[in-house]
Amino acid sequence: MIEVSRNRFEELVSEALDTIPPELAKVMDNVVVVVVDDPPEQGLLGLYTGIPLTERGDWYSGVLPDRIEIYRNPTLEICETEDDVVEEVQITVVHEIAHHFGIDDERLHELGW
């Protein structure tokens, strides 16, 4: 396990978000990304909660933002170096953003994520 301050971890999440291609970032809608120390259940590095873009219709308005949580402590527990943390954060951010776009875990695994 490696120690990374909360501020540094938040910077790594921000840097991972900056790598999202602009054409995808532009269509992300009503979603917030936050760092949380511990997940609601063991084994999670991230969690998307909300209504994926592919399921939104004319009825979609006035709803709270979707939420992507990136879990700091479990990520640090599986990493040995800061480079490992950078890589794991990048993978987790991409994975959770994919859920915002309506891509499920099965398809992500088919794509190598």
Please check whether residue 61 lies inside any domain of the structure: no
Distance CA 42, CA 74 (A): 8
113 has pLDDT over 80: no
Q: What is the mean pLDDT of residues 5-22?
A: 96
| CATH code, domain with 11 | 3.30.2010.20
In a domain, 76, yes or no: yes
**Is 56 a member of any domain?**
no
Say if 60 falls within a structural domain: no
Q: What is the pTM of this model?
A: 0.93
Query: Does residue 78 lie within any of the structural domains?
Result: yes
**Calpha distance 42→51 (Å, rounded):** 23
Provide the number of structural domains found in the chain.
Answer: 1
58 found inside a domain: no
Please determine, for residue 111, whether its predicted confidence score (pLDDT) is greater than 90. Answer: no
In-domain check, residue 23: yes
Once rounded to an integer, what is the mean pLDDT over residues 26-32? 95
Residue-wise pLDDT tens digits, 40-72: 999 999 999 999 999 999 999 999 999 999 999
The residue range of the domain holding 83 is 6-51+67-111
User: Residue 27's pLDDT band (boundaries 50, 70, 90)?
Assistant: very high
Residue 103 forms part of a structural domain: yes
